[in-house]
């Protein structure tokens, strides 16, 4: 049983029957670009971590389901941080990462994923009594990455994101982790957490330095705030992709800019409904983005917490956009093309998609 505020198959607008495209989606080679590291912990993984560190998070699956019944985005952050608190040692990081990779590869058909990691909430320089060293964190991530590719054929890369709710100290620390302890798998620099009360301009110096060091810019923006947050991410943070960007639908000029520049939106439909960023799937702006010529990718965000995964999100996208197998395959190709994977990996993954469709 997966913990969920509202199971994805009962979210408004999602059919209560299996789509005839489900089998095609399941086997379709896919890349995921908007998915959080700790937020990918399934009930099985959370239960194991809770057993290792008894406390506020229950281990029983039914109690876990109730625990994840969050009320709004602020409560979601509270619940999310409770799970973060279970990841206390490098061994926990390794277990979490390897098991996430197992589920991505064997249950969802993923071939490549850029996991958004938040080292600050595990290293916690503000309270070293509850954190691990950045060296231990990085070594555990990299060991699990190598093992996941060896055992499951899944290529993992990292996005280190600033947890906005912790402010500039977290930004300073995260930049230090990214630049001074850079791992081979790190490809991008991000910004997550609450948007309300966390203005994007204050982080411009951090993104300037990260970009100067060769990291890509992928901040969250426009999920729970208006279009100006997206503009700030583009103009001040140099965003190459926008996490969510839901409120861009409110600004025709912004839509035109996104379409003309090709900056993709990482769209996570079920997440947007579960966190109340969008009232219902029927009202989700995904079709509007498509019609405006905006490049979109589909992500699952924090999948077990929203009772979803990438397979389900592709089915949601197919329903909202009226996609057939060819349309879904092109959606998968877009995910590969706008990823930060090396060109040789992109070529291989695009070939896998073509071979799957032809077969």
If one compares 79 and 256, the residue with the highest pLDDT of the two is 256
Reply yes or no on whether 223 is catalytic.
yes
Residue 197 tokens, joined:
């009360």
If one compares 10 and 131, the residue with the highest pLDDT of the two is 131
pLDDT above 70: percentage of residues in the chain: 92
User: Does 286 score more than 50 pLDDT?
Assistant: yes
pLDDT range class, residue 128, cuts 50, 70, 90:
low
Question: Angle 251-255-260 (CA atoms, 0-180°, nearest 5)?
Answer: 150
Poorest-confidence range of 31-45, 67-81, 116-130, 213-227?
Answer: 67-81
Scored b (16 or more CB within 10 A) or e, 237-269 reads bbbbbbbbbbbbbebeebbebbeeeebbbbbbb
pLDDT range class, residue 14, cuts 50, 70, 90:
very low
> Per the residue annotation, which of 223, 240, 266, 313 is the catalytic one?
223
User: Does 306 score more than 70 pLDDT?
Assistant: yes
User: Does 50 score more than 60 pLDDT?
Assistant: yes
List the CATH code of the domain at 20-358: 3.20.20.140
Residue 89 tokens, joined:
């040692």
Give residue-wise pLDDT tens across range 179-202.
999 999 999 999 999 999 999 999
The model carries a pTM of 0.90
């Amino acid at each position: 049983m997966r913990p969920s505020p509202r199971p994805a198959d009962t979210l408004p607008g999602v059919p209560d029957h299996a789509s005839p495209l489900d089998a095609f989606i399941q086997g379709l080679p896919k890349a995921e670009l908007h998915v959080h590291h700790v937020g990918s912990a399934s009930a099985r993984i959370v239960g194991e971590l809770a057993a290792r560190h008894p406390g506020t998070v229950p281990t029983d699956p039914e109690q876990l389901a109730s625990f994840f019944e969050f009320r709004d985005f602020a409560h979601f952050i509270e619940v999310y941080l409770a799970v973060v608190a279970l990841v206390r040692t490098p061994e926990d990081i390794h277990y979490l990462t390897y098991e996430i990779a197992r589920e991505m590869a064997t249950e969802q058909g993923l071939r490549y994923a850029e996991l958004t990691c938040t080292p600050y909430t595990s290293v916690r320089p503000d309270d070293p009594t509850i954190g691990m060293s950045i060296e231990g964190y990085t070594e555990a991530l990299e060991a699990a990455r190598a093992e996941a590719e060896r055992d499951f054929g899944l290529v993992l890369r990292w996005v280190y994101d600033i947890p906005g709710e912790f402010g500039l100290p977290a930004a300073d620390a995260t930049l230090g982790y990214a630049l001074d302890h850079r791992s081979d798998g790190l490809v991008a620099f991000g910004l997550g957490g609450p948007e309300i009360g966390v203005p994007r301009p204050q982080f411009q110096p951090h993104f300037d330095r990260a970009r100067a060091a060769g990291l890509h810019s992928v901040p969250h923006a426009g999920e729970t705030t208006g279009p100006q947050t997206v503009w700030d991410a583009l103009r001040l943070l140099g965003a190459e992709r926008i996490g969510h960007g839901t409120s861009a639908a409110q600004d025709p000029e912004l839509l035109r800019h996104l379409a003309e520049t090709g900056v993709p939106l990482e769209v996570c439909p079920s997440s947007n409904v579960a966190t109340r960023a969008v009232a219902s799937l029927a009202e989700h702006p995904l079709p509007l983005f498509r019609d405006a010529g905006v490049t979109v990718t589909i992500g699952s965000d924090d999948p077990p917490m929203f009772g979803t995964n990438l397979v389900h999100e592709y089915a949601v996208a197919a329903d909202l956009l009226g996609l057939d197998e060819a349309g879904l395959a092109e959606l998968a190709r877009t995910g590969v093309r706008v990823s930060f994977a090396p060109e040789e990996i992109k070529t291989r993954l695009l070939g896998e998609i073509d071979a799957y469709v032809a077969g």
